[in-house]
Amino acid sequence: MERSTRYIRDVQSYVKRKHHATNGEILDYLQLKYPHVSATTIHRITSRLVERGRLALAPPARGNVTRFDSTTDLHDHFVCSNCDLVRNAYVADAIRPILEQSIGEGCQISGSLIVAGLCKKCSKEAKV
């Protein structure tokens, strides 16, 4: 039987609501409710949730900071190269054959894809 504490439930709830979050973001949020919760506690919880398949790893945040994903099925990501926004995407099935043909020599892509670009907000700001 899996142990579930209020911290674990609140971590899962926060990441589910935000879709993607770092340990630092989770810590900041939980400290509003539990001022004495530590970074070590959050790290242990997120590590355990990834091991159990309750959270997945997302593309790292700026500074190569580990970011967690509430969606655990295999999927791709869009990352804004300006503001670091992350969105789930399901593009691999359509794009993988094109990429593999472009790469050539029988190479096959495995795993998820990360697509970088500008989000709508940053794209609008760049035009101003």
Let me know: does 100 contact 109? Beta carbons within 8 Å.
yes
For the question of whether the overall pTM of this predicted structure is more than 0.75, the answer is yes
pLDDT at 2: 65
pLDDT at 110: 84
**Domains of the chain, earliest start first:** 6-69 (1.10.10.10), 76-127 (3.30.1490.190)
pLDDT at 8: 95
DSSP string, the chain: -----HHHHHHHHHHHHHSEEEHHHHHHHHHHH-TT--HHHHHHHHHHHHHTTSSEEEEEEGGGEEEEES--SS-EEEEETTT--EEEE--HHHHHHHHHHHH-TT----S--EEEE--HHHHHHHH-
pLDDT in tens, 61-96: 999 999 999 999 999 999 999 999 999 999 888 888
pLDDT in tens, 28-51: 999 999 999 999 999 999 999 999
